[in-house]
Amino acid sequence: MARMSTRRKLAIASWGSPKEGNIYGKLTVDAGPAVAWIEEQRERTGEKITITHLVGKACALALHRAPSLNGRILFGRFVEHRSVDVAFLVAIDGGSDLAKARIRDVDRKPVAEIAAELGARAERLKQGKDDDFEKSKGLLRALPTWLIRPLVGLIGWLASCLGLSIPALGIERFPFGSCIVTSVGMLGLDEGFAPPTPWAHVPLYVLVGALRKRPAVVDDKIVIQEQLTITATIDHRFIDGYQGAILARAVREVFADPTCLDRDADGGAGADGA
């Protein structure tokens, strides 16, 4: 019998019937300007920048503009995070397992720096050289499934709500930040919705689909666009229509004119200079 992956063991142990009021959103954008900008940035910086890095940056700018999304619920009250951190999911073990790599201050970093930092973290994870992940993975492999649910729930609350680090278990403070970004585009899927992870305690899960050439109407004419579908699973306790509009607008602005990121010298002011 094949060994159960860490991700699947966690899923079996922690997911059940939905209890929270999650809402779902979908946004399809013209990715042509972004694809051209990414190619230019790759040549200029030498970094392997992808659409996923750009989506993570756009989400971080939205969290910067709407601080009521950038936080966690603690004892029934919203507590804002001091930085805008995004967790990217990384496929490891040939795609049979997943790990996360949290990047701090994504709203303030150029996309090339995000790509470089995430690339280095992903390489360590794939090579089994990330000490924190190896510690946590070893614990999960040793525990029976029935014990994982209460233990992971407690550890998640301590780390993601109270902000405690647990070095012995490889757990850092606020391990998932305020947003989790993952991609199914590399798998050839056009779109999907990421399931909320109960013990992560984040309000926003963003999933990046595949680039597809599709017909679109521009100035009353049918043209072929390279389009991208981005979906979001959102905790309704954090977001309503107003915050949702900020999130959608930030993503649309970045994809309509990625050079707005070049004009922002430190990456921190956001596309609108806020």
Predicted local distance difference test score (pLDDT) of residue 182: 93
Predicted local distance difference test score (pLDDT) of residue 37: 96
Spell out, as residue ranges, where the chain has pLDDT lower than 70. Answer: 1-20, 263-274
Tens of pLDDT, residue by residue over 69-80, are 899 989 989 999
Predicted local distance difference test score (pLDDT) of residue 274: 32
Tens of pLDDT, residue by residue over 213-244, are 999 988 899 999 999 999 999 888 887 777 78
| Burial (0-12, 13-18, 19+ Cβ within 10 Å), 160 | buried
Predicted local distance difference test score (pLDDT) of residue 170: 85
Predicted local distance difference test score (pLDDT) of residue 129: 86
| CATH entry, 27-114+176-260, from 3.30.559.10, 1.10.240.10, 3.40.50.1980, 2.60.120.650 | 3.30.559.10
The residues that bridge with 230 in the sheet, in sequence order, are: 27, 208
Predicted local distance difference test score (pLDDT) of residue 268: 44
Predicted local distance difference test score (pLDDT) of residue 183: 92
Predicted local distance difference test score (pLDDT) of residue 267: 40
Nearest to 181 by CA among 98, 124, 64, 83: 98
Predicted local distance difference test score (pLDDT) of residue 17: 60
CA dist., res. 92 & res. 98, Å (int): 6
Q: Where are the domains of the chain?
A: 27-114+176-260
Predicted local distance difference test score (pLDDT) of residue 258: 94
